[in-house]
Amino acid sequence: MAIGVSVIGLLLLGVVFIYGANKGHLTSDFEMIIKADQNKVWSNFQNPSNFKKWMSGFEKIEMLEGIPGTAGSTYALHFKNDDGTTTILYQKLTSIDPPNSISFDLNNEMFSSELLITLKEVSEGTKMTVKMDTEGSNSFYNAFIHLGKENLDQNQRQNYEAFKQLLEQE
């Protein structure tokens, strides 16, 4: 019986490995309208003292190298998980065009992501567009990212909705 369970387990791991190896990167895009002017959205989005108010689990940001707020600068973002453990994401700012756009790379031992966030003044306020490309650091992590896409998208959307509410309640 134990041999049968082991074989099934190995087969499942093989399927996950093959699935992850063939999926490539995961793309996630969404946009929202925030009822605030573009400069206010930009300044609040760039303000680390606001991060705890809208990023779930955010604990702190740590400057690692470079000049804060300039392309090439790197940071460590610390997040507390539901189980009490801490996750650190490493962020490298790749471009910044205040108050229009910012792009950065995020990574840790499980994945790497490229994010582009653009802001555009519209009649209703500011349109925020978020584009994210993510890939697991190996086939197993890549499979889990693809299998958890719905949950990842939902968590990301919840964070940005919390950011929107923060601005619209002021």
Q: What is the CATH number of the domain that holds 101?
A: 3.30.530.20
Report which DSSP code applies to 48.
G
In whole angstroms, what is the distance from residue 71 CA to residue 25 CA?
24
Range of the domain at 114: 25-168
Q: How many structural domains compose the chain?
A: 1
Residue 141, pLDDT score: 76
- pLDDT tens digits for 84-137? 999 999 999 999 999 999 999 999 998 999 999 999 999 999 999 999 998 888
In a domain, 55, yes or no: yes
In a domain, 68, yes or no: yes
**Mean pLDDT value across residues 160-170:** 92
Which tokens go with 66?
């470079």
- pLDDT tens digits for 33-81? 999 999 999 999 999 999 999 999 999 999 999 999 999 999 999 999 9
Positive or negative: CA dihedral 63, 69, 73, 78: positive
Q: How confident is the model at residue 140 (pLDDT cuts 50, 70, 90)?
A: confident
In a domain, 1, yes or no: no
